[in-house]
Amino acid sequence: MDAHMRPRATMKLCVLFAVSFSWAFHEIPPHKYRLPDTLTSELLLCDQCPPGTAVLTHCTADTPTACVPCPDRTFSEHWHWGESCQFCTSVCKERQLVRRECNSTHDQLCECAPGHHLQVEFCIKHNACKPGFGVTAPGTPESDTVCETCPRGHFSNRLSASQPCVPHRNCSQLGLKTLRHGTSTQDTLCDNQSKGSVLECTRHRTLCQTDISLCEEAIFQSLASLRLSSVPLERLLESLPGKRVDEKNLERLKKVCSPQQQILHLLRLWRQQNRDQDKLYGIIHGVSQCERKVSKCASLENLTLADLLAVMDSLPGVKVPVEDIQVVVASCPSQQLLLQLLHLWKNHNRDMDLAKGLAQSPRRLRLQGAPQPLIRSIKKINRVIATSSINKMYEKMFLNMIHDGSCFRTKPHNE
């Protein structure tokens, strides 16, 4: 070839190469793909198949791409031009649960079981914060528990993967004397002798109490239809069988308690006065037995603030303020926490049917992933209260009193 012809040939080859390169790497429109025509080898621009489908037949110069739905237990998550779908993950790994079932557009999604988080490819148990440290971010299926040192005025005295630091008990606000100031691992120690009376109905609502009886509260609620609060307290006092309640206590009740609370406390005092009365054994023994059963069911170890908040969230009606629940946690032994919480909730919802309200809690707690012992405990408490026969015995006694105010006065039972 002549020397003057070589530059032209070289330029022609460069142009052809550039055109081919541009055609091969030309930007393809969304959801399209290039395919050589089987007859002409010409590059065709075909439609991709949408998620949930796969290519049945590729496009030709005359026909578009044909797609077919993914078979069962297969999926395609994106637009594509493959002739098959991907197989679904069959089982989750150890300590994993199915978060989302496989469908035609998504694979089965697994996540770590409650109390665990993913680390590399394994589910590891959440770390628990040491005493003196509180949870600032609970663990999730993707992340571990975050712990921080308890700030001043707060403490944590247990190993927990859910409990934050809680404020030290304020003894003066509770009407108590400070015996020892709190640390990061210990609560403030208060003198357990309260300045107030156990009959006070308006103070220390969150202070740990020892005379809580959900059975009696349920009993009084069953008597609410009798409108006992409209009956003078003196008349009820005179009509009650057995030993009479001291009139000084009666006057104190009238000063500090609402009419509904007056009846409840009067029944408590009357029951205490008549524990040894043979004729009243059925009522007295029945209430005491109900109390013992409820107390046993509610005695759970290692309950945390997070557990109590979950219980409160599961109950209907007006919620107990978080700060009140924190005081309960700070002032009560672990075995009494659940009973105290239910008592506070009932005080905020006096018109709420106790048994019906408690019946809603287990299902909601189960959805929250609450501990099984806690769920079983509430179910047992509700079963004891709902099946107790003491309600009818009390109701019969008060019906007799209301219909015949002298029915007990003619009997020498007060002598």
Residue 389 in tokens: 């026969």
| pLDDT value of position 227 | 59
- Between the alpha carbon of residue 404 and those of residues 197, 392, 410, the distances in Å are 34, 18, 11
**Mean pLDDT, consecutive 10-residue segments, the chain of 415 residues?**
43 38 60 90 93 95 95 95 93 89 94 89 90 91 93 87 86 77 86 45 50 68 59 72 76 70 72 64 64 81 85 89 82 82 82 82 87 90 74 63 46 36
Give the type of residue at 378: I
| pLDDT value of position 387 | 73
| pLDDT value of position 400 | 63
Contacts for 258 with CB less than 8 Å, ≥ 6 apart:
201
Domain ranges of the chain: 30-108, 114-195, 196-403
Degrees, nearest 5: CA angle 22-51-103: 155
Residue 124 gets the label, from left (phi > 0), alpha (psi -120 to 50) or beta, of: beta
User: How long is the chain?
Assistant: 415
| pLDDT value of position 321 | 86
| pLDDT value of position 14 | 42
Under CATH, to which class is 30-108 assigned? Answer: mainly beta
| pLDDT value of position 244 | 76
CB distance 193 to 369 below 8 Å: no
| pLDDT value of position 176 | 76
Identical fold at 30-108 and 114-195?
A: yes
Q: What is the Cα–Cα distance from 192 to 62, expressed in whole angstroms? A: 92
| pLDDT value of position 230 | 64
| pLDDT value of position 3 | 44
| pLDDT value of position 102 | 94
| pLDDT value of position 301 | 78
DSSP-assigned letters across all residues of 240-268: SSSSPPPHHHHHHHHHHS-HHHHHHHHHH
CB distance 342 to 316 below 8 Å: no
| pLDDT value of position 392 | 62
| Domain 114-195 bears CATH identifier 2.10.50.10 | yes
